[in-house]
Amino acid sequence: MNVSENIQSKMQLNTGKSLFEFTKSKNVLLIFLRHFGCVFCKEAMKDIAKIKKDIRARGVELVFVHMADNEIAIKYFKDFGLADCPHISDPSKIYYNAFGLRKGSITQLYGLQTWVRGFSAENKGNKLEVSKSLGDATQMPGIFHLFDGKILESYIHKLASEKPDYMQMAECCLV
């Protein structure tokens, strides 16, 4: 898959740079989140916050894409220790679609595996929140390793409950 320079140039980080411009000199782990009220989105943010320094030590920058407005996103990123990470607001899901991320099926979102992981001990503190302002609850997440505007590796979730290896994604294609 190749997402055009045009699309990446339109993807504006909260810092004012475009994603395309940001990837010209940096390896970037582009993380498309589910909605901020999702148990697994919260789990992902906690997991990434724990290894953020290690990822950056390898020369990889984290950039998040979310569906909320930036005021809401800033609160969540601060709460999870990710306030220093650039992010892109995409409430219309234009960029989710451009990167091939779709709405999940009933099985992907609410299947047995998802329920079991959602109620697991590691997610005990992650409370489900439902609000349109947090994003589309049916949207599936994904991760892309980019450099120089090119996608070097991707991970598209098959289930909402999947727990990817973020460090492996960061290290996979260092340029």
Task: Give 133's pLDDT tier (boundaries 50, 70, 90).
Answer: low
Task: Give 132's pLDDT tier (boundaries 50, 70, 90).
Answer: low
Alpha-carbon distance 31 to 63, whole Å? Answer: 6
Q: Given a cut of 90, is residue 149 above it in pLDDT?
A: yes
Is 143 within 8 Å of 166 (Cβ atoms)? yes
Q: Given a cut of 90, is residue 111 above it in pLDDT?
A: no
Task: Give 121's pLDDT tier (boundaries 50, 70, 90).
Answer: very low
Angle at 160 between CA 157 and CA 164, to 5 degrees: 50
Range in 64-73, 99-108, 144-153 the model is least confident about: 99-108
Quote the DSSP letter at residue 143. E
Write out the two tokens for 85: 């990470």
Q: How far is CA 80 from the centre of its chain?
A: 14
Angle at 82 between CA 77 and CA 84, to 5 degrees: 110
Q: Is the pTM of this model over 0.85?
A: yes
Ordered domains of the chain (ranges, CATH)? 5-171 (3.40.30.10)
3-state secondary structure 62-78: EEEEECCCHHHHHHHHH
Write out the two tokens for 110: 């609410």
